[in-house]
């Protein structure tokens, strides 16, 4: 039912879980490393410097959220992005950050404490 308010809440919860699963710098780094294709776990470990158990935990979070999928080649374990949309999301985040970091800033006063704050022009 398209106008079901509960459906919107469920979708909002799912989005929050998705962003939470991506909410660690190591996980973003792993996703970025997989952007061009499958990468062996040994290479992920060497490139990130993560301890094997820590790497495994981060990969598990991304796998449970279905952002990455494991595959075996010649007895070696690799991971790859589960879908091209993950790359689209990473690119959108880069574009948003670029826009936010390059936005002109003005000084404003926080009405709660009267302290000047910088705010982006809108």
Domains of the chain and CATH, by start? 1-82 (1.10.10.10), 83-122 (no CATH)
Say which residues have a Cβ less than 8 Å from residue 44's Cβ, sequence separation at least 6: 30, 33, 50, 55, 59, 79
- Say yes or no to pLDDT of 61 above 90: yes
Instruction: Say what the pLDDT of residue 98 is.
Output: 92
Nearest Cα to Cα of residue 65 among 111, 107, 30: 30
Instruction: Say what the pLDDT of residue 114 is.
Output: 62
Structure token pair of residue 36: 């061009």
Using pLDDT thresholds of 50, 70 and 90, give the confidence band for residue 2. low
Using pLDDT thresholds of 50, 70 and 90, give the confidence band for residue 115. low
């Amino acid at each position: 039912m398209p106008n079901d308010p509960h459906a919107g809440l469920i979708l909002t919860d799912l989005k929050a879980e998705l962003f939470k699963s991506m909410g660690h710098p190591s996980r973003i780094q792993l996703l970025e490393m997989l952007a061009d294709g499958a990468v062996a776990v040994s290479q992920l470990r060497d490139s990130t410097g993560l301890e094997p158990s820590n790497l495994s935990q981060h990969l598990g979070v991304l796998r449970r959220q279905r952002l990455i999928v494991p595959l075996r080649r010649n007895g070696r374990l690799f991971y790859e992005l589960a879908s091209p949309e993950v790359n689209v999301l990473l690119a959108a985040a880069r574009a948003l950050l670029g826009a936010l970091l390059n936005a002109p800033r003005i000084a404003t006063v926080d009405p709660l404490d009267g302290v000047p704050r910088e705010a982006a022009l809108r």
